[in-house]
Amino acid sequence: MTAAYRELERRFARIAAIGDALGILSWDSQTMMPDGSSDGRAEQTATLTVLAHELQTDPRVADWLAEAEAAGGLDDWQAANLREMRRTHRHATAVPGDLIEATSKAISACEMTWRSARAESDFAKLLPSLSEVLRRVRECGEAKAAAMGLSPYDAMLDEHDPGARSERIDALFAGLAGFLPELIGRVLDRQAAEPAPLRPVGPFAVASQKALGERLMRAAGFDFTRGRLDVSLHPFCGGATGDVRITTRYDEDDFTKALMGVMHETGHALYEQGRPRDWLSQPVGLARGMAVHESQSLIVEMQACRSPKFLCWLAPVAQEAFGGTGPAWEPDNLRRLYSRVERGFIRVDADEVTYPAHIILRYRLEKALIAGDLALADLPGAWNDGMRELVGVVPPNDRLGCLQDIHWPSGAWGYFPSYTLGAMTAAQLFEAAATADPYIRPALARGDLGPLVAWLGVNVHGKGCLYASGDELLTAATGRPLDAAVFRRHLESRYLGA
């Protein structure tokens, strides 16, 4: 190991520490920070963001990278770490520091405006600040595109998922569009022939909902000595290395949504808590892209916790937690509740079958906005048209429409495809895991996610960025790259009994 490589490790450890500080500040701003503190928080966030950028773009980093690459002599993890350092450096140096600072400030301001605009269902209120975010994000994308030889949108995709390209996503999403409409129709027809599920009657105290959520988190292996559960407007997983913060939102009339929201974010958190201990401060110790990250939330929520076996265990546990009685609390009714397919307005509440349509809509819109083919002022109308075409419903207001997600106000452009790519990845990983370990499915019937999480720990969590892309990791874990046929097989099995 050369002196240059050791210097790089020290440098990137400092960058990781700044990233952890930003993670806690972001968590605080979305959970506990007083509204009047937003200006100061924006300045703090911008200062740390610029500091991290300066550490990444120091001209000496390029020299150290070249020297370490020329010297060689690294083991597999060190070589992968050097590759990830190079990738991070390439993204960072493409964008000048003043643009990084301006973008960070625009995002902080837009996030705060989004909260009130969403509550008031007032897109016009968000338009000026979101326009500034879009302008800055587009400038960043154009700078990265020039440096990487990509289109601006592909450069944004690559930042979230190394190697992701719109051409491939177009093909994958076209494959989904080829069978989803017919599948949705068949599922809705089948549901119509069944008794409608009964919804347990509340109110369900928030304290009881939180206690049940924490019980399930422990069953999944969440370490509460290195993380916590809180409340936010939009559920998320964040925080810092060794201090993973997840949030949910509660409805006292319906415990079912928050519970699965908790388990969704727990899947993310388990990935963060399971990253390779020896490499936590290094790029190679990070998660392997956002599609893989989404697969971890969805394998816990959709593949495991919404499975009929797990719900048979959960039904009496939930009945005890809330003092429920009667047919609404029976396992088969809970199964029908958690597998109900409906055409709805809200992405985060969408079922597994219609969810991809929500993502395809956002994917189309953000590509058009970045390319300049759609004016931001026309977003509400374009959103409603797309919802009519893809989902079959039209939102009655912007709160239920284009204001529902925080992603664009927070600067996360090129992120949305990872949700559906993650769902496909989750199906493929679960199929491989259940084949490799025959105890996984029976354990779910006992409320035990241990065998599944253990398999994920070896094949996903503990691998960090050892592999250069999500497809490489998926191929190592399952024997093949992402295959939409596996996702289709899962949907048909669960919702049609095929």
CB 479 within 8 A of CB 432: yes
Residue 483, helix vs strand vs coil: coil
* CA angle centred on 433, ends 428 and 436, rounded to 5°: 125
DSSP 349: G
- Beta strand 243-248 pairing with 227-231: parallel
Give catalytic status of residue 101 as yes or no: no
Residue 243, helix vs strand vs coil: strand
Closest CA to 117 of 103, 133, 102: 133
Tell me the residue type at 151: S
CB-count exposure of residue 228 (10 Å: 0-12, 13-18, 19+): middle
Residue 134, helix vs strand vs coil: helix
H-state helical runs in 58-165: 59-71, 76-93, 97-120, 123-148, 152-160
Of the residues 159, 265, 272, 431, only one is catalytic, namely: 265
- Give me the count of residues in the chain: 498
Which helix (H) or strand (E) covers residue 259, if one does? helix 255-273
User: In sequence order, what are the beta bridge partners of 238?
Assistant: 245
Residue 80, helix vs strand vs coil: helix
> CA distances (Å), 155 to each of 73, 131, 151, 171, 174, in order?
31, 20, 6, 18, 21
Q: Active-site residues: which are they?
A: 265
